Structure 1
């Protein structure tokens, strides 16, 4: 198949990207590693011995960093619909996070333990149509927040990638009801043209407002 001008331009940018080059040199699985590293340095998110969940983990650079930081006494559980090559110290489940059986299987890996930190760099396959892309993105991060609300220990933290657009203010409001403090982060490795932003919920409150009401329907019309 002949490459389009857009795909050629993306490939050229990708190959020449300094973060891509650094990731290859330093052994990280993707340039996204530097987003987490910068946020970690600023906010001191990961400590030895923690239990961490990585939602939307593939290809695995965030899980890779988390496993290194928590050490042998810690644990990293990772989930993605895509396959991911094994990582030392990481228990990985491949499956669709939107499917209830997959979620239940993943929850069983916790063995009843509460989580110190949930991280999520999850995003849907973008179609380039904001009317389609934003609802799909919001749906995924609402699922991630619902998981965090139910499995983070009181005082636990939550880091998620979000895209600014329709549904973003409502999601931010949900976060503020669930955590003592909500911060925004735009790491240097995040491309300037991208409307992605990282939201950090610090110190989960014991009494939170669930993303999903008791009848199982979503809190917003997505």
Structure 2
């Protein structure tokens, strides 16, 4: 499986033939548009060729190639992991299949096994979740990843608030399980509602960045917040 993120745009023979999808009687217009977007998405085609479970894998690949936060031997938690695209990338980067690191994937939905990844069907908001996950990891985490997205309503302001709320919950969890020096990466949307989240991350981490991967669809408000250099729960609590 290659981890190359540049150059290949998913087109065969250097020519792209757009697939048109007709609206079926039992398929809504929004479903038809989604299907057309999937069929014509070069990252979807690439993921199928290269064995990744989702196009989202290329977002994590690009972010890591820019900022190098995934390192061999790390202990990683992937929240909302299914179907497993981010787990696949992280397992390669930390050498989990060689026994040099460990990944715990957490989701309410079941997920097909991935070499080097331990999986827990669990709500990460459960009171016992941090201790449960740290026990699975064998200690504190070096990184917490979240590509979770709430079901959209079509109302931009509402959808933005929902995705930021998920990122805040993921940040709460990260504060419970991260070891000093660890990283946190989570999906957010462009807008002003994440100001409180960013202020908190800037307090608890040495560096906080907004990242827009090329693999994010054009026109999407999707962004990722990447926080590195966790100061540690005790130090963060003092500030």
Verify: 1:75 aligned to 2:102, yes or no.
yes
**In structure 1, distance between residues paired with 2:237 and 2:60:** 27
Q: Aligned residue for 2:155?
A: 129
- Asked whether the 8 Å contact 1:174–1:209 carries over to 2, the reply is no
**In structure 2, distance between residues paired with 1:122 and 1:203:** 22
Verify: 1:48 aligned to 2:48, yes or no.
no
Q: Aligned pair in 2 of structure 1 residues 131, 103: CA closer, same or farther (>3 Å)?
A: farther
- Asked whether the 8 Å contact 1:179–1:205 carries over to 2, the reply is yes
Q: How does 1:26-41 map to 2 (within 5 A)?
A: 26-41=50-65
Verify: 1:148 aligned to 2:174, yes or no.
yes
1:102 offset after TM fit, Å?
4.9
**In structure 1, distance between residues paired with 2:88 and 2:198:** 28
Q: Secondary structure at the match of 2:92?
A: helix
Q: Aligned residue for 2:236?
A: 208
Q: How does 1:66-215 map to 2 (within 5 A)?
A: 66-71=90-95, 72-102=99-129, 104-111=131-138, 113-165=139-191, 167-206=193-232, 207-209=235-237
Answer with 1 or 2: which has the greater Rg: 2
Q: Aligned residue for 1:215?
A: none
- Asked whether the 8 Å contact 2:102–2:137 carries over to 1, the reply is no
Q: Secondary structure at the match of 1:208?
A: helix
Number of aligned residue pairs: 209
Q: Aligned pair in 2 of structure 1 residues 127, 100: CA closer, same or farther (>3 Å)?
A: farther
1:127 offset after TM fit, Å?
2.1
Query: Structure 1 runs of 4+ off > 6 angstroms?
Result: none
Q: Aligned residue for 1:15?
A: 39
**In structure 2, distance between residues paired with 1:55 and 1:49:** 19
Q: Secondary structure at the match of 1:92?
A: strand
- Asked whether the 8 Å contact 2:130–2:177 carries over to 1, the reply is no
Normalization by structure 2: what TM-score? Answer: 0.81
- 5+ long unaligned stretches in structure 2: 1-24
Q: Secondary structure at the match of 1:24?
A: helix
**In structure 1, distance between residues paired with 2:38 and 2:109:** 21
Q: Secondary structure at the match of 1:79?
A: strand
Q: Aligned-pair RMSD on alpha carbons?
A: 1.9
Q: Aligned pair in 2 of structure 1 residues 104, 183: CA closer, same or farther (>3 Å)?
A: same
Normalization by structure 1: what TM-score? Answer: 0.87
Q: Secondary structure at the match of 2:166?
A: helix
1:107 offset after TM fit, Å?
4.1
**In structure 2, distance between residues paired with 1:178 and 1:161:** 18
